[in-house]
């Protein structure tokens, strides 16, 4: 399996995340889902897992 680690990561572009300030059943939900690559809102847990993976990669590259 290829490594996902890279030294060139600059940001994580999450798109719409289901939070209290941006709820999935909110007034712009359908528009935001239509713009999302997966066609749905992400979750805070998915963002946290991505960050954790990248932190581990950083440790491997250090």
Does residue 15 come out as left (phi exceeding 0), alpha (psi in the -120 to 50 range) or beta? left
Digit-by-digit pLDDT tens for the chain (62 residues) are 456 676 666 678 888 999 999 899 988 899 999 998 889 999 999 999 988 888 888 777 76
Distances in Å between the Cα of 37 and the Cα atoms of 12, 14, 41, 56, 57 are 14, 10, 10, 25, 24
The model's pTM is 0.73
Domain ranges within the chain, ordered by starting residue: 29-61
């Amino acid at each position: 399996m290829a490594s996902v680690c890279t030294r060139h990561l600059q940001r994580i572009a999450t798109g719409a995340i289901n939070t209290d300030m941006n709820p999935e059943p909110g007034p712009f939900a359908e528009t935001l889902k239509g713009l999302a690559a997966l066609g749905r809102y992400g979750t805070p847990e998915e963002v946290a897992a991505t960050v954790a993976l990248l932190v581990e990669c950083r440790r491997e590259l250090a």
